[in-house]
Structure 1
Amino acid sequence: MARLDFLSEYHNRTQRNYLQRVMEHDKAECTRVARQWGYEYWDGPRQFGYGGYHYDGRWLKLAQRLASHYGLKAGDRVLDVGCGKGFLLYELTQAVPGIEVVGLDISSYAKQHAKAEVQQAIMLGHAKALPFADNSFDLVFSNTTLHNLPLPELDQAIREIERVGKGAAKFICVESYRNDREKVNLLYWQLTCESFFTPEAWAWLYQQCGYQGDWDFIFFE
Structure 2
Amino acid sequence: MQPINLGAGFKLTDDNKKNGNNTMARLDFLAELHTRTKRNYVQRVIDHDKAQCADIAKQWGYDYWDGERQYGYGGYKYDGRWLVLADKLAKQYNLQPGDKILDVGCGKGFLMHEFTRAVPGVEVQGLDISSYAIEHAKEEVKPFLVEGNATSLPFPDDHFDLVVSITTLHNLRLPELHQAVKEIQRVGKKHRFISVESYRNEAEKVNLLYWQLTCESFFTPEEWVWIYQQCGYEGDWDFIFFE
TM-score, normalising length: structure 2:
0.90
Q: 1:111, 1:16 → 2: CA distance?
A: 27
- Asked whether 1:96 is paired with 2:130, we answer no
Q: In 1, Cα distance between the equivalents of 2:132 and 2:152? A: 20
The equivalent of 2:163 in structure 1 is: 140
Residue-by-residue CA offset, 1:110-156 (whole Å, 9 max, x unaligned):
00100000001000000000011110000000000000000000000
SS of 1:116's equivalent? coil
Q: Distance in 2 between matches of 1:114 and 1:78?
A: 17
Show structure 2 runs of 5+ residues with no match: 1-23
Larger Rg: 2
Equivalent position SS for 1:181: helix
Shift of 1:100: 0.2
Counting aligned pairs with the same residue, the percent is 71
Aligned to 2:218: 196
CA distance in 1 between partners of 2:40 and 2:99 (Å): 41
Give the counterpart of 2:197 among 132, 156, 175. 175
Deviation string 1:28-51 (CA, Å, 9 cap, x unpaired) is: 000000000000000000000000
Report what 2:51 is aligned to: 28
The letter for the 2-side match of 1:172 is I
Match of 2:186 in 1: 163
Structure 2 Cα separation of the partners of residues 77 and 94 of structure 1:
14
For 1:111 and 1:131, the matched residues in 2 are separated by 16
Please name the residue that 2:100 is paired with. Answer: 77
Paired residue type of 2:231 = C
What's the offset of the Cα at 1:15?
A: 1.0
TM-score normalised over the length of structure 1: 0.99
SS of the residue corresponding to residue 214 of structure 2 reads coil
Matched, 1:55 2:70: no
- The residue matched to 1:138 in structure 2 has which SS? strand
Per-residue CA deviation, residues 162-215 of structure 1 (Å, 9 max, x unaligned), is 000013x10000000000000010000000000000000000000000000000
Aligned CA-pair RMSD = 0.5
Structure 1 segments, 4+ long, off by >6 Å, are none
Shift of 1:69: 0.5
2-side partners of 1:94 and 1:14: how far apart?
A: 24
